[in-house]
Structure formats: C-alpha cells, structure tokens
Amino acid sequence: MKRTKQPAFGIVGAPVHAAVRERLRTDRPGPDPRLDPAGDAARRGDWPTVAATMPPVTADPDLHHRAVAEVAELAVEDDRWLNAWLDAAPEDANAWSVHAQAIMRLAWRLRTAAPGTEVLPEQWVGFRRVLGQAPAACARATALAPGLATPWIVLMSCAQGLGWDHERFRALWAEVTARAPDSVAAHRRALYYWLPRWQGSAELAGGFVMETLDRARPGSLLTAVRFEHAFLEGVADPGAIEAARADLAAAPADHPYRVHHRHWLAYLLTRARRYDEALAEFHAIGGYAGAPPWELFADPAGAFAGTRAEATGRR
C-alpha cells in the first residue's frame, strides 16, 4: 500500500493522527516484566497480588521507587484496593510507601503542572492540604523499613511543594543519599527542589547538576539530571548526546532507568537532526510516552508523536 510520506511537524501541538495517539501509553515509560504483575493486579483492584509482587524493601532503590510510583499512580484515581491493603496489612512498609506516593501524586493533580501564577487559590489550598498529609504516611513507612529510600524520596516532593527551607532539605537529602546514593529518582527530585521556579535558584540548580555529574559513576544514568535541567531551564548542552550514549553503554542491563534514558536520547537525537539514530531509539521504546521529556509538555502524547513523526519524515 502506498502511503503519503509523513510531513515534518514541530514538537509542540503537532497535529498527530488521532489513531496514533490512541495507541500511545502515557502512564509509563515502557513495559518491564519486573513491574508489570503489580501494575496489572492494581488495575484489577487485587491488592494481595500487588503486595506479593512488589519488589521487597531491600530491592534496588530505583526499582523500588518505580514500582511504587506505577501502582501509586493507579491509586490516584481509585484508592479502594489501596485502602483495603492498608487496613489488612498495616505493618507493610510497601503499602505505606504506595500510600505516601499516591498522596503526593494526588496533591499534584489538584495543583496541576501549570506555572505557579496560573494555579487558582483553591488549587493551592487543596495542594497544600493533601501534600501536607504525605509526611505522616512516609513516617509510617520509614518506621517499618528504616533502610528504605522510597518514602524519603516522597518527602523530597513535600519539601519542593511545601517550601521547606534549604537547611531542612539538606538534612533530608543526607537521609536519602545514605540509603540511595545513586538513585536517579532522588536526583531528579533534588533537581526540581533547587530550580528557581521552586525553592532554589539558577545558581543552586546549576551547581547541583555540576556536583552530581562530578560524582556520578559511568553507567549510573545520572546524566539524566543534566538533560532535564537543560530542558527545563533552556540551557544549551552540546555534549548531551555523547554523554547519554556513554552513560547508557556503561549501565547494567537491568538498570531501572535504562528506558528513561532511551526517551531522552530519542528526543535529543531528533533535536540534533540525527534522525536515523533517533528512530532506532523510538523503535526500541515502542508506543510508550510516560517518561521525560514528554511528560514535561502539556500534551505528552502529542510531543512524543510529533517528535517521532519529525524523525520519520526527515529521515
């Protein structure tokens, strides 16, 4: 069948065919056999299976954080299974971690990701009221599993949203890094805290990125912080692609943030007009748009599809 060659689109507001968007999943970055069973069970409301298939509290911090985040996102719409789990297993640190993470996500849904000046007063009230309940849930989780990093990472979002001062945040960061020194999730949260739009400044955010890159082991995938910072602050970063490739090449095959890294590469390669390489990354990703940088757009699916269409059309 002969097809019209796809025209090139800009990435913002690209008029992507509805069917293409329909098939894209924006709730996760890609399939992962380590995470899928818990997510499927949560979707069914089957909390015992969620509890049984969640990574243990001793798992890799990033894997644990991702697993918690994926099921917590489901609890933001419907928390009946989570409440049943909490009632039945009040000593399960994973349940409290999911609860804390879900509260944090719920708060952000009330606020939306809009710039602060566009957030309505009632949204601020709801945001602060809900987010203010997350620390208590975090405290339950950390009391049950003192070595677990995930609830401490949720507290970083509280620091960001509730405006905790720098001293308090640095003390929190010390707790996080003691448990998860290389966590991509934790470093992303810290980046947001230090952004000028939240509790930091251009200097503090830039300084945090420099420090992170200086300390990062190759293969830790902490270069992601650099891409997100450049994207959010509109900073030019000419060496980003090579840094991303090197980091990915050195990363273990089971690193939980490998797939996120591919999303960044696909985006950065398209922006650099290296369309063949970009398409290879898009091919590896498949139909998932639930990752940065797409999540940073008002329309993640549109941004993903538009960028992919640009790479396809210009090849």
Partner 1 sequence: MRRYAYVAQIVSLLIGFYLICTALVAGLIALDAFVFSIDGAERAGVALLAVTLAAVFVVIRGVFVSTRLRHRHVVGIRVTEAEQPALWARIRQLAAQVGTRAPRRLYLVPDVNAAVWEDTRLLGLIPGRRQMMIGVPLLMALTPAQLDAILAHELGHYGNRDTRLGGLVGRTRQSVLAAVRAAGRRRRFDLPGGGLFFAIFRWYATVVLKTTQEASRAQELAADRVAAQIAGPATTIAALGALHGIDRAFDFYLARYLMPGFELGLMPPPPELFGSFSAMLADPVRRGQLDELAREPDEETADPFDSHPPMAQRIAALRALPPGPEQTTDSRAVAILVHPTEVIAQVALRSLQKELAGKQVLAWDALAQAVGLHRADERARPLQEAVARLSGRPADLPALRDALGAGRYHQILDALPRNEASRLTNATGRVAREHAKTELAPMLSGWLVGHLVRTGRARWVHSWGDFEGELRLAPELKAAVDAAIEDLVAVRPDDRRLRSLISGVPA
Residues that bind partner 1 (CB under 8 A): 75-79, 83, 86, 103, 106, 109-110, 112, 120, 122-123, 125-126, 129-130, 133
Nearer to partner 1, 6 or 123 (CB): 123
Place of tokens 């000028």: 196
Nearer to partner 1, 103 or 144 (CB): 103
Q: How far is CA 117 from each of CA 108, 109, 120, 123, 200, rounded to the nearest angstrom?
A: 15, 16, 8, 11, 17
CA angle (197, 198, 201) in 5-degree steps: 65
Nearer to partner 1, 45 or 181 (CB): 45
Nearer to partner 1, 77 or 167 (CB): 77
What is the C-alpha to C-alpha distance for residues 142 and 137, in angstroms, rounded to an integer? 9
- Closest distance between partner 1 and the C-beta of residue 120, in Å? 5
Nearby residues of 229 by Cβ (< 8 Å), 6 or more positions away: 191, 205, 206, 209, 235
- Closest distance between partner 1 and the C-beta of residue 111, in Å? 9
- Closest distance between partner 1 and the C-beta of residue 78, in Å? 6
- Burial state string for 22-49 with b = 16 or more CB within 10 A and e = fewer than 16: eebebebbbebeebeebbebbeeebbeb
Q: How far is CA 106 from each of CA 112, 205, 244, 284, rounded to the nearest angstrom?
A: 10, 26, 32, 31
CA 187 from centre of chain: 11
Identify whether the C-beta of residue 256 lies closer than 8 Å to the C-beta of residue 60.
yes
- Closest distance between partner 1 and the C-beta of residue 121, in Å? 9
- Closest distance between partner 1 and the C-beta of residue 81, in Å? 12
Nearer to partner 1, 52 or 125 (CB): 125
Nearer to partner 1, 103 or 158 (CB): 103
- Closest distance between partner 1 and the C-beta of residue 129, in Å? 7
